[in-house]
Amino acid sequence: MRFGPGMAVLALVLAFAAPAAAEDCPAKSRDEVTASIKAAPSCKRAMQIASACSGGATGDVGLTDAVEERCEGDFLARLKASQKRAYQREKDACDRKFSHEEGTMYISFAAFCRAKVAQRYSQRAIKAK
């Protein structure tokens, strides 16, 4: 396979762009991270903290559970029963999406998928206000 100058430029752009976008984890221990997520001023910030502190493995489940809890505070109490079922179905779809994959990385992917569902519901609720 031959790589032209365009691929070289793209590789350089990606190499320098990715580290600039990354945020450092604001806490040292998992307990501190979880507390920071739960105390985050917004669902969006909670997700940013979880993303910055994720390890790409099973340990991310605790972080994303905290994100879900934080985000659900914005909308869950106001959902009707049918909306709660739809919300749960979307989260369950995340688990099914990665259920046939092996490795702890996929557990993290499913956990972040569920947290993103909660984040979307939170965003909708905030827009509706």
pLDDT at 28: 86
User: Residue 18 has what pLDDT?
Assistant: 38
Which position has the higher pLDDT, 3 or 30?
30
pLDDT in tens, 107-121: 999 999 999 999 999
Q: Would you state the pLDDT for residue 75?
A: 97
Report the candidate in 74, 62, 49 with the shortest Cα–Cα distance to residue 114.
62
Residue of 67, 30, 12, 64 whose CA lies nearest to 45: 67
* pLDDT for res 9: 41
Which tens digits make up the pLDDT trace of 46-92? 999 999 999 999 999 999 999 999 999 999 999 999 999 999 999 99
Mean of pLDDT over the chain: 86
| Residue tagged 């688990």 (tokens) | 95
